[in-house]
Amino acid sequence: MRIFVCLKQVPDTETRIQIKTDKSGIEESGVKWVMNPYDEYAVEEALKLRDAKGGGQVTVMSVGPKSRVTDSLRTAMAMGADDGIVIDSAGEQVDTFMAAKALSEAIKKEGAFDLVLTGRHAIDDNAASVPQILGELLNIPHVTVVSKITAGESMLVEREIEGGAREIFEVTGPCVLAANKGLNTPRYASLPGIMKAKKKPLKEMTLADAGVSSAQMKTRLKDFQLPPDKPAVKMLSGDAGAQAKELVRLLMEEAKVL
Partner 1 sequence: MAKVFVFLEGNNQDLKKGSLELLTAAKASGREVVAGLVGPGVKALAPKAAHYGAQTTFVCDAAELGHYNPETFTDAVTAMVKDSGADVVLASSSVLARDLFPRVAARLDSGVASDCTILKLDGGTVTVRKPLYSGKCTAEVEFVNSPVKIVLMRPNQLPVGQPDAAATAQTKDFPAPAASGKIKTKDLVKGSSSKTDLAEANIIVAGGRGMGSAENFKQLEDLANALGATVGASRAVADAGWVPHSMQVGQTGKTVAPSLYIAFGISGAIQHLAGMSGSKVIVAVNKDGDAPIFQKATYGLVGDLFELAPKLTEEFKKALHK
* In the complex, least distance from residue 37 CB atom to partner 1, rounded to whole angstroms: 6
Distance CA 158, CA 165 (A): 10
Binding to partner 1 in span 98-137, by CB under 8 A: 100, 123-133, 135-137
- Residue 57 or 147: the one with the smaller Cβ distance to partner 1 is 147
- Residue 165 or 191: the one with the smaller Cβ distance to partner 1 is 165
Binding to partner 1 in span 5-44, by CB under 8 A: 11, 13-17, 19, 26, 37-38
Q: For residue 120, what are the CA distances in angstroms to 78, 176, 224? A: 22, 11, 24
Binding to partner 1 in span 230-249, by CB under 8 A: 230-231, 233-236, 240-241, 243-245, 247-248
Distance CA 115, CA 252 (A): 53
Contact status: 171 vs partner 1 (CB under 8 A): yes
Distance CA 34, CA 91 (A): 17
Site string for partner 1, 197-216 (x = CB under 8 A): ------------------xx
- Residue 67 or 243: the one with the smaller Cβ distance to partner 1 is 243
Q: Which of 6, 58, 79, 145 binds partner 1 (CB under 8 A)?
A: 145
What residue type is 51 in one-letter code? D
Contact status: 227 vs partner 1 (CB under 8 A): yes
Q: Provide the residue count of the chain.
A: 258
Cβ atoms within 10 Å, residue 16: 8
Q: Which of 112, 163, 188, 192 binds partner 1 (CB under 8 A)?
A: 163
- Residue 52 or 244: the one with the smaller Cβ distance to partner 1 is 244
Q: Which of 73, 144, 149, 184 binds partner 1 (CB under 8 A)?
A: 144
Q: Are the CB atoms for 203 and 84 separated by under 8 Å?
A: yes
Binding to partner 1 in span 80-99, by CB under 8 A: 95-97
- Residue 2 or 120: the one with the smaller Cβ distance to partner 1 is 120
Which residues are CB-contacts of 68 (< 8 A; sequence separation ≥ 6)? 9, 33
Q: Which of 112, 165, 191, 199 binds partner 1 (CB under 8 A)?
A: 165
Helix (H) or strand (E) holding 88: strand 83-88
Q: Are the CB atoms for 118 and 132 separated by under 8 Å?
A: no
Cα dihedral angle (49, 177, 76, 47), rounded to 10 degrees?
Answer: 0
